[in-house]
């Protein structure tokens, strides 16, 4: 790998690590220790701009894989990052009723906390200075966090369906000049079924194989 590419990737991973660490720290403090915060919506409103920026920035990682800057599967990267951003931008950021649900801050915590282990591992690998503890955490922390995240994603999707059905937002009804229809709640219900079994199975299997190989 060229020095310029290594420098760029190290800087990118460092920025993301700092960003997601700050989100994780805030959420842990707000959820567990701050008695002044009384609602999920308060937490969401405080952390949303920061988290949205760093989560959206992750789309660059799909491009990294596509152009060969990093290894991995473009499909796995796109499904994981695209799925998170769909839930974040369309279901959480755009539906006030969802923002008030108790599980939304916990979902953001699950998404953010796993990155606090992933990015340091990437940085140490880029610097050719692998630390056993970082490697261990990178390949074991996901065991509780990923299943919890899948359940929290499912709850978030399910809680959005009524609002989307009532508003018709992001859906296209017939008749129209393009003779085309699209019903987002139906797509989300399909995604929900795929998330619960096939997609989660593929993702967890992929992570398990990675962990098994890395921790030999």
**How far, in Å, are 49, 75, 104, 215 from residue 82 at the CA level?**
18, 10, 18, 28
- Integer Cα distance of 209 and 81 in angstroms: 20
| Residue (of 51, 176, 141, 54) closest to 105 by Cα position | 51
- Whether 146 is catalytic is yes
Q: Which of 8, 146, 170, 208 is an active site residue?
A: 146
Q: Which of 61, 119, 153, 191 is an active site residue?
A: 153
DSSP 8-state code for residue 16: H
Which residue bears the tokens 């990267």?
Answer: 77
**Residue 160 host element (H or E):** helix 142-167
Question: What is the CB neighbour count within 10 angstroms for residue 105?
Answer: 24
| Residues in the chain, total | 216
- Whether 153 is catalytic is yes
Instruction: Return the active site residues.
Output: 146, 153
């Amino acid at each position: 790998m060229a020095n310029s590419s290594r420098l760029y990737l190290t800087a990118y991973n460092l920025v993301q690590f700092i960003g997601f660490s700050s989100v994780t720290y805030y959420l842990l403090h707000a959820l567990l220790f701050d008695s002044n915060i009384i609602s999920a919506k308060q937490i969401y409103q405080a952390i949303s701009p920061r988290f949205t920026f760093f989560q959206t920035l992750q789309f660059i990682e799909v491009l990294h894989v596509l152009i060969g800057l990093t290894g991995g599967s473009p499909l796995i990267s796109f499904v994981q990052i695209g799925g998170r951003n769909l839930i974040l931008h369309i279901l959480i950021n755009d539906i006030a009723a969802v923002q008030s649900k108790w599980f939304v801050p916990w979902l953001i915590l699950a998404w953010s906390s796993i990155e606090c282990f992933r990015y340091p591992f990437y940085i140490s690998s880029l610097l050719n200075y692998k630390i056993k503890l970082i490697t261990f955490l990178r390949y074991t922390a996901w065991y509780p966090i990923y299943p919890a995240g899948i359940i929290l994603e499912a709850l978030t999707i399910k809680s959005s369906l009524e609002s989307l059905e009532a508003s018709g937002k992001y859906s296209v009804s017939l008749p129209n000049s393009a003779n085309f229809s699209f019903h987002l709640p139906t797509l989300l219900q399909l995604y929900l079924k795929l998330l619960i079994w096939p997609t989660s199975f593929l993702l967890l299997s992929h992570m398990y194989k990675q962990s098994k190989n890395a921790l030999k």
